[in-house]
A and B are shown apart, each in its own frame.
Chain A
Amino acid sequence: IAGITQAPTSQILAAGRRMTLRCTQDMRHNAMYWYRQDLGLGLRLIHYSNTAGTTGKGEVPDGYSVSRANTDDFPLTLASAVPSQTSVYFCASSPTVNQPQHFGDGTRLSIL
């Protein structure tokens, strides 16, 4: 079934550790996004990529990095995790930036 796959589905991580959240789509969408969802704050954009080979910063990029080496994959890395990065992380993609986004089912990350 076409869509977005995120891994892992959940993770508990010690503060200071490095972590990469994986996101893969098989729809050949040009644009991809990473959001975090926190209670009372809705969805906030972390980083985005309008097309393979390019990335940009969203609303809350500090402490996170991304890469877009090819169309399908858009990993999100926490270089040194902190407790404030405890959240649910969603990856999304869209054919172009003006079209509706398709979302993965999220990664629930707890930083202790």
Chain B
Amino acid sequence: AQSVAQPEDQVNVAEGNPLTVKCTYSVSGNPYLFWYVQYPNRGLQFLLKYITGDNLVKGSYGFEAEFNKSQTSFHLKKPSALVSDSALYFCAVRDPNRDDKIIFGKGTRLHILP
């Protein structure tokens, strides 16, 4: 069965520093991977996805993520954090070879400290 893990409940980063939010996954085939962001009292918003192609994927608001097949990871990164990046981030995975739904991780709360 497919699964996704976000090992950190919370990440604190100083404004201007690089940030990383970790995600690992488990699927039987080649995964479809997604990152979403959630601001207070709002629904999730799509940031970026990996389907195939370049392992480094660029998305909205300056975020990027690197697909690493050997480590089964899809960490979210940004070179220079902004206070406005503070939010809840969700990683999600789907195995396109199975009739499974997208599975979301439990979320990582990102705090950018001014």
Binding site for B on A (CB under 8 A): 4, 33, 35, 40-45, 48, 58, 90, 92, 97-98, 100-106
Assess whether A100 is in contact with B90, with CB atoms less than 8 Å apart. no
Residue in B41, B43, B45, B94 whose beta carbon sits within 8 Å of that of A98 in the complex: B94
How many interface residues does B have (CB within 8 Å)? 20
Secondary structure type dominating chain A contacts: strand
Assess whether B43 is in contact with A104, with CB atoms less than 8 Å apart. yes
- Nearest chain A residue, comparing its CB with the CB of B49: A100
- By a CB distance below 8 angstroms, the chain A residues around B106 are 40-42
Name the residue among A43, A48, A103 with the largest chain B CB count within 10 angstroms. Answer: A43
Q: How far is the CB of B54 from chain A (nearest CB, A)?
A: 18
- Nearest chain B residue, comparing its CB with the CB of A33: B101
Q: List 6 A-B contacts (CB under 8 A).
A: A4-B43, A43-B44, A43-B90, A58-B101, A101-B102, A106-B41
Assess whether B43 is in contact with A42, with CB atoms less than 8 Å apart. no
With A42-B90, A43-B90 as given contacts, are A102 and B105 in contact (CB-CB < 8 Å)? no
Instruction: List residues of B (40-92) whose CB comes within 8 Å of A's CBs.
Output: 41-46, 49, 51, 90
- Nearest chain A residue, comparing its CB with the CB of B34: A100
Binding site for A on B (CB under 8 A): 32, 34, 36, 41-46, 49, 51, 90, 94, 96, 101-102, 104-107
CA distance A45 to B34 in the complex (A): 16
Assess whether A105 is in contact with B104, with CB atoms less than 8 Å apart. no
- By a CB distance below 8 angstroms, the chain A residues around B44 are 43, 90, 92, 101, 103
Name the residue among B43, B102, B104 with the largest chain A CB count within 10 angstroms. Answer: B43
Residue in A41, A45, A92 whose beta carbon sits within 8 Å of that of B43 in the complex: A92
